[in-house]
Chains A and B, each alone.
Chain A
Amino acid sequence: MKRDDYLPEEAEIIEVIQETGSNLNIKTFHLKLIGDDPVFDFKPGQFLMLTVHGVGEAPFGLASSPSNRDRIVISVKETGKVTAALHELTVGDKVGLRGPYGNSFPVEEHKSQEIIFISGGIGLAPLRSAIDYVLDPDNRGDYGRVQMLQAFRSPEDMLYDYDQPRWEDAENIDIKYTIDKPCEDWEHCVGFPHKLIEDEIDCIIEGAKYYVCGPPIMIKSVINELLEIGIKPKDIITTLEMRMSCGLGKCGKCNIGHRYVCKDGPVFSYQELLDMPEEF
């Protein structure tokens, strides 16, 4: 039986990376647990609850591969109280964290398949845990070709520029980037991701899995496009965001129908979403 007393454990910020350029509104935090047991075991797609002491608590998707056990990575967009306070913190500061919570990307089930990651903005953060897992040399052989379509508002909004060369150099991989509007010196695609799927991705109908993550409107239009092409709902995987307090399926905040996004999600296949009331 799991016993969780909502008690966050102490963690220290060991690195802060300013991700985005002009907006300066996304930062990546590397954290380390301080207690007797510094190991934080999780699966790709799970999330944690982070406490900024005296301010509040908020959920964030784990953004690193679980194989990297000495640091916990999250990328945070400044939107309100907790995220603003977190953005003020720096290396050496302490935060609280509890978790991991939720289910995970079905990376085990999808072994030997091709995987296509489609992200919008900070939606790349939770996908990063699955990307790094699949590209991990220990696991790479278990999966087929990997394709990515990463969408950002502008070149300034791109995430993980330090990861991109490593990802591009990985074996059997194809990465496309797109921004909303044309701009100077941009050599990649332009336009919303759903408009680019047909031309830019080698869309495999059988034996490929589509992981889609981003703002709700982007998720909806990408999924519509994938269905149009003939991709089956069970092959489309996405994560949902709802307001959350407990992370344990108890506080009653995050339900869609009888399912709790914090416990039965945040990862759902589109097939599962079809069976749920549309309330997200």
Chain B
Amino acid sequence: MRLKKLNSEELIELLEIFFAEYDLIAPFKVEQGRLNRVLFRKIRQNNEIPSIYLKEMPETTPKNFILPRDERLDFERFNSEREENENSLARAKTRLFFGVRSCDLAAIELFDDVFLDEDYLDPFYESRREKNIFIGYSNQILPPNNFQKELEIGYFDHQLAPAFIYEDLEARGREHYWLKIKAGYQFSKDVEAHLDNLETGEIGNLEKLLNDWEDKFTGETDFEIKNKLPFPEKEVFNQVDWQEPTASCLGCGVCTYYCPTCFCFDFFWDGSTKNRAWDSCMFSLFTEHASGHNPREEQHQRWRQRLLHKFSYHPQNYNDKPGCVGCGRCIYKCPVNLDIRNVINAVDKTLVKGGQASEER
């Protein structure tokens, strides 16, 4: 493991070298009238680098680049390149995603479980997933409504990221950014040459800093999932009152579109070209048959699907791993402030009650 200390100028220099070497994708502040949005974007020119904005959790995640909102399934191009280049949509440069939160890295791992599965491999996903480097990020601000700790996702590291950057918003100079590079990982020559010139940090100091942040985060979150995952599907499906906690849902699908772990999709045709686009279980037409029959007629049934997919079905199919990473986006993006934690609480309460009832018997 290597640890480097950087000030703001040094970080910009490092990013400039990344930009020369890789396709650099990083969070950006985008003005929308009076509102500012933080979104992942591809850097097009050097002078955009100072505008990279890390402090707040971005609204979007690398999902948009790996499983894009819509994509042409361009078989002809795909097949010819497959022959030439062993399955990859030939991309000249490696993509470097800079500033990715650990929960969002966990979401990419979940996508890998689904689309690079042992018994099925999605070649379009695979090609977009090739030649990517992720550099993680965290600071001492817990993203709003974040509950990743309850899902056992650490804040300060992830196996998909060979390097992680920590920003101490209270420090200036060389203590402002800490770059941790995992043992054995080597960037390209030019990047390495630049890293050699940076000051080395004391691991003990960083550890102390991260411990302080973690303590602070723990103090800020009181949400708890009382029952073990996966939730027992039939029991929860039938016994929980799904209407009450989800009554205000508009079925707009915003929660699923911002969710870094939602991957449901549909195909559509543009002339004779087949395309894939995100779909959402929150839409009424999602499961409607041609006959008009719909297994999920009501919005609360769709909410039940969304919650149970993440906390029962997905973990059952993928080694107990939840289908949610607790990023909190669906909570603050929802136009009616519907909070998934309240729905989980409703499940917990029902299961606890059921448990007590059976003990009494």
Per a CB cutoff under 8 Å, which of A5, A248, A252, A277 touches B279?
A252
Asked if residues A6 and B73 are in contact (CB atoms below 8 Å), the reply is yes
Asked if residues B287 and A245 are in contact (CB atoms below 8 Å), the reply is no
Bound form: Cα–Cα A242–B274 in Å: 21
Residue B220 CB within 8 A of the other chain? no
In the assembled complex, 11 residue pairs joining A and B whose CB atoms fall closer than 8 Å, in A order, are: A1-B119, A6-B276, A57-B267, A80-B290, A243-B288, A243-B289, A251-B279, A252-B264, A257-B313, A258-B312, A258-B317
B256 nearest CB neighbor, chain A only: A252
Asked if residues B120 and A248 are in contact (CB atoms below 8 Å), the reply is yes
Task: Report chain A residues within 8 Å CB of B264.
Answer: 251-253
Task: Report chain B residues within 8 Å CB of A248.
Answer: 120
Residue B78 CB within 8 A of the other chain? yes
Asked if residues A251 and B301 are in contact (CB atoms below 8 Å), the reply is no
Chain A 61-78 near chain B by CB (<8 Å), digits 1 or 0: 000000000000000000
Residue A55 CB within 8 A of the other chain? yes
Give A contacts to B, CB under 8 Å. Answer: 1-7, 51, 53-58, 79-80, 83, 216, 241-243, 245-246, 248-253, 255-258, 275-277, 279-280
Task: Report chain A residues within 8 Å CB of B265.
Answer: 245-246, 250-252
- How far apart are A276's CB and chain B's nearest CB, in angstroms? 7
Asked if residues A53 and B234 are in contact (CB atoms below 8 Å), the reply is no
Chain B 208-240 near chain A by CB (<8 Å), digits 1 or 0: 000000000000000000000010011001100
| Top-3 shortest CB links A-B | A252-B264, A258-B313, A79-B290
Bound form: Cα–Cα A252–B323 in Å: 12
Asked if residues A6 and B274 are in contact (CB atoms below 8 Å), the reply is yes
Q: Which of B277-295 contact A (CB under 8 A)?
A: 279, 281, 286-291, 293, 295
Bound form: Cα–Cα A111–B102 in Å: 53
Q: Which of the 9-residue segments B9-17, B121-129, B340-348 touches chain A?
A: B121-129
Known: A245-B265, A258-B313. A253 touches B287 (CB 8 A): yes
Asked if residues B78 and A5 are in contact (CB atoms below 8 Å), the reply is yes
Bound form: Cα–Cα A279–B308 in Å: 13
Task: Report chain B residues within 8 Å CB of A251.
Answer: 264-266, 279
Chain B 101-115 near chain A by CB (<8 Å), digits 1 or 0: 000000000000011
Asked if residues B291 and A245 are in contact (CB atoms below 8 Å), the reply is no
Task: Report chain A residues within 8 Å CB of B119.
Answer: 1-2
Asked if residues B313 and A250 are in contact (CB atoms below 8 Å), the reply is no
Asked if residues A83 and B290 are in contact (CB atoms below 8 Å), the reply is yes
A277 nearest CB neighbor, chain B only: B237
Residue B53 CB within 8 A of the other chain? no
> 10 other contacts beyond A255-B305, A257-B313, with CB at 8 A cut-off?
A80-B290, A216-B293, A242-B295, A243-B286, A243-B288, A250-B115, A256-B295, A258-B316, A279-B237, A279-B296
Majority secondary structure, B binding face: mixed
Asked if residues A280 and B267 are in contact (CB atoms below 8 Å), the reply is no
Task: Report chain A residues within 8 Å CB of B309.
Answer: 252, 255
Asked if residues A277 and B287 are in contact (CB atoms below 8 Å), the reply is no
Task: Report chain B residues within 8 Å CB of A83.
Answer: 290
Per a CB cutoff under 8 Å, which of A1, A54, A275, A280 touches B272?
A54
Residue B269 CB within 8 A of the other chain? yes
Known: A250-B122, A251-B264. A277 touches B272 (CB 8 A): no
Bound form: Cα–Cα A241–B305 in Å: 18
Asked if residues A1 and B118 are in contact (CB atoms below 8 Å), the reply is yes
A217 nearest CB neighbor, chain B only: B293
A260 nearest CB neighbor, chain B only: B317
Task: Report chain A residues within 8 Å CB of B118.
Answer: 1
Asked if residues A55 and B269 are in contact (CB atoms below 8 Å), the reply is yes
Asked if residues B75 and A5 are in contact (CB atoms below 8 Å), the reply is yes
Residue B184 CB within 8 A of the other chain? no
Asked if residues B313 and A255 are in contact (CB atoms below 8 Å), the reply is yes
Per a CB cutoff under 8 Å, which of B234, B268, B281 touches A252?
B281
Residue B33 CB within 8 A of the other chain? no
Bound form: Cα–Cα A55–B286 in Å: 18
Bound form: Cα–Cα A172–B246 in Å: 57
Residue B355 CB within 8 A of the other chain? no
Asked if residues A3 and B123 are in contact (CB atoms below 8 Å), the reply is yes
Task: Report chain B residues within 8 Å CB of A252.
Answer: 263-265, 279, 281, 309
Asked if residues B271 and A54 are in contact (CB atoms below 8 Å), the reply is yes
Task: Report chain B residues within 8 Å CB of A242.
Answer: 287, 289, 295
Bound form: Cα–Cα A276–B265 in Å: 24
Asked if residues A257 and B279 are in contact (CB atoms below 8 Å), the reply is no
Asked if residues A5 and B317 are in contact (CB atoms below 8 Å), the reply is no
- How far apart are B129's CB and chain A's nearest CB, in angstroms? 14
Chain B 11-29 near chain A by CB (<8 Å), digits 1 or 0: 0000000000000000000
Bound form: Cα–Cα A242–B183 in Å: 49
